[in-house]
Amino acid sequence: MNIHDIAKLAGVSKSTVSRVISKNGYVAPESLQRILQVMDEVNYRPNVFAKGMRTNRSYSIGILFPDLSNPFFAEWYHVIEQISGSKGYLNYICITDPYGKTEMKRIDDLLARSIDGIIYFSYQKNSEVLDKLKTISKHTPVICCDGMMIGEDLSYVCADGRKGTYDATRYLIESGRIRIAYIKGTEAYQVGLNRFEGYKQAMEEANLPFDESLVFSGDFKMADGFEAANYFMRQEYPPDAIMAATDFMAIGALNYLNQQGISVPEQVAVVGFDNLTRTTETNPPLTTIELPLEQLATNAIESLIYQIENDKAIIQKVYDCKLIVRQSS
Amino acid sequence: MNIHDIAKLAGVSKSTVSRVISKNGYVAPESLQRILQVMDEVNYRPNVFAKGMRTNRSYSIGILFPDLSNPFFAEWYHVIEQISGSKGYLNYICITDPYGKTEMKRIDDLLARSIDGIIYFSYQKNSEVLDKLKTISKHTPVICCDGMMIGEDLSYVCADGRKGTYDATRYLIESGRIRIAYIKGTEAYQVGLNRFEGYKQAMEEANLPFDESLVFSGDFKMADGFEAANYFMRQEYPPDAIMAATDFMAIGALNYLNQQGISVPEQVAVVGFDNLTRTTETNPPLTTIELPLEQLATNAIESLIYQIENDKAIIQKVYDCKLIVRQSS
DNA sequence: TTTTGTTGTGGGAACGTTCCCATAATTGAT
DNA sequence: ATCAATTATGGGAACGTTCCCACAACAAAA
């Protein structure tokens, strides 16, 4: 069932039907009515391939996530999907392995499908991938969702993780904590680097010695938080507070402390980052730094669609974070 | 850059280039070599729209998930993505709201993009949607991933949740538990219905009275497990064991018990369902029923691709579950 | 009356592939 | 030497849209 058949059934030419479908050009009210009715009756759906061949638009967006098991990304996607869906877009989701070997391939796979735009998440900053994204963004909008892109010639939205972590660290210091441990990403995982900087700065300003043994590098898995807490608490002088670069890792640490019967917050305070939905339900509820996820995600997808439909100019935006104090500190 | 340009550069006709791209028909080794080299040099990528218009294939799969925040679906997707990606497919992911209002629309959105197949997850059994899926599967393969489709004229893969839950309930009874509570889905959420049946059957066989106040209906969110435990434990005769239709809800219940200082498993045993990766890290590690997720997911995507590429005949497969005893019971 | 602008319609080229068909060269069997 | 099968190539129609162009009807302005 194609545009010709509809035209025949409605007693008009295919041009008129085309005008109805693509909603531009003049069509008489009666013709419009009749054509819509026929299309509905036969359940006509325009062929995307033919349409795409002429317009070079697919109404598809490609999204790269490093790990969907992390609820952080799932929460992002819920917001993105809702908005993109309401504007007629559908999203391809690719999972790139943590060490980024698949990213280049997946980006090519997406481009081969003529996606209209790309939303890029990564745990790392890989210069080869970055160069590719920069090249691509000349013709296909790309939005990166992390602060590590600051300074790059790319569109991004992010939160000021440095400032947020700085504030939270100061808060812990002011509550009397003196041995504050930090769970960050490994060297390869640059995504939380600015958060770690905020921690270091606050410690320095308070004249608290920076202790290498109070820093643990993980891969942003819940298990890494678990392992980190184990590493910290077995030391001769265990910390009286543990901060993590993400809630997901903080929950892992909390699990360890609970399993070991170490009381939170009496013996050790725990602070996360992200304010995931479930942090109100942990035992005890988690003190965390709120990353304005809904705003970020909304801005990311709306900016991308704006770039697709209007203006390809680079968009860069940084949001503030906010400390949320709960019972874990 | 199109097939004509490549042909010109390689000094052959577009037909020969087409044979190289679609890998069928005779091509001389030297021509092949030269064409591949030219395509690589100019970074040529065949136009999907033109290709699709002729072949009616998009190498895209549509997946409907009711909720990606639930790590259960994320774990499924990781397996699916890896396999589909290796076979040249990319996946559209749609999130359908729990009450299914968006499902019909999203299915249409997917069909409008000429996807090659659909993988369908849902919390509910909606006859309107089911009818649509049955109609669609005449021309576009559809695989459902839940046991509630058993008996329907549709392709599915699932685990025997009834049997798994029956075994786990019997195990609890044999360990001396006599008041076993169950967290299931609401009436609208039929997905765990067969699991609940297994629980009822085991209770009945052991002559344990079926107590309405020991059954809680939730929406499969972690918060529902939390709330359920609260509901159970405030009763005059609280249960000595809580089973949940999913690990996600069991973890919610565990969080409640931990927050309230109720000892697990001494006072209350907790048993989940799914064997999510993170259940080894809960406090205490969760006893659960292993749903063979990797096998299920592998089978689902491989069956779908088989149906797409070979034979559209219906495929139906049921796997066994296995009880995994950990410290929560 | 003529001109101008708006509204409405249809014809046909073009988008970049695939695939059928025609043709030719080469090989190997008769 | 002849024929058939295999290998290799190119030409052109077709897929289902969009969009440019031509043209007609009609209203309003000159």
When pLDDT is cut at 50, 70 and 90, the band that residue B232 belongs to is very high
Distance CA B78, CA B297 (A): 9
Residue-wise over B292-301: b if at least 16 C-beta within 10 A, else e?
ebeebbbbbb
Q: Does A62 score more than 70 pLDDT?
A: yes
The token pair at B209 is 């009275």
Q: Which of A109, A110, A281 sits opposite B252 (nearest CB)?
A: A281
Q: Does B218 score more than 80 pLDDT?
A: yes
Using CA atoms, how far residue A323 sits from A169, A254, A282, A292, in Å, is 10, 18, 17, 11
When pLDDT is cut at 50, 70 and 90, the band that residue A100 belongs to is low
Which among A239, A257, A250, A251 is positioned nearest to A172, based on CA atoms? A239
pLDDT at site B189 = 78
Among the ranges given (A154-158, B107-111, B311-315), the one the predictor scored with the smallest mean pLDDT: B311-315
The token pair at B146 is 């839940």
Q: Which residues touch strand C (CB under 7 A)?
A: A 11-16, 18-19, 25-31, 50, 53-54; B 2-4, 14-15, 18, 21-22, 24, 46-47, 49-51, 53-55
Which of A51, A68, A82, A258 is the mutation pick for testing B, counting most B CBs within 10 A? Answer: A68
Distance CA B247, CA B288 (A): 7
Distance CA B319, CA B275 (A): 15
Q: What is the pLDDT of residues A145-195, one digit of tens each?
A: 988 888 899 999 999 999 999 999 999 999 999 999 999 988 777 778 889
When pLDDT is cut at 50, 70 and 90, the band that residue B277 belongs to is confident
Q: What is the pLDDT of residues B53-75, one digit of tens each?
A: 999 999 999 999 998 888 889 99
Q: Does A214 score more than 70 pLDDT?
A: yes
Radius of gyration of chain A (CA): 25
Edge-first strand listing for the sheet containing A90-95:
A316-319, A155-159, A142-144, A117-120, A60-65, A90-95, B90-95, B60-65, B117-120, B142-144, B155-159, B316-319
pLDDT at site B124 = 86
Q: What is the pLDDT of residues B118-131, one digit of tens each?
A: 999 998 888 899 99
The token pair at A172 is 């812990």
Cβ contacts (< 8 Å) between B222 and chain A: which residues?
A: 278, 281
Distance CA A301, CA A85 (A): 11
pTM of the model: 0.90
> Inter-chain contact B85–A71, Cβ cutoff 8 Å?
no
Q: Does B100 score more than 80 pLDDT?
A: no
Q: What is the pLDDT of residues B7-32, one digit of tens each?
A: 999 999 999 999 999 998 999 999 99
Q: Does B188 score more than 80 pLDDT?
A: no
When pLDDT is cut at 50, 70 and 90, the band that residue B98 belongs to is low
Q: Does A311 score more than 80 pLDDT?
A: no
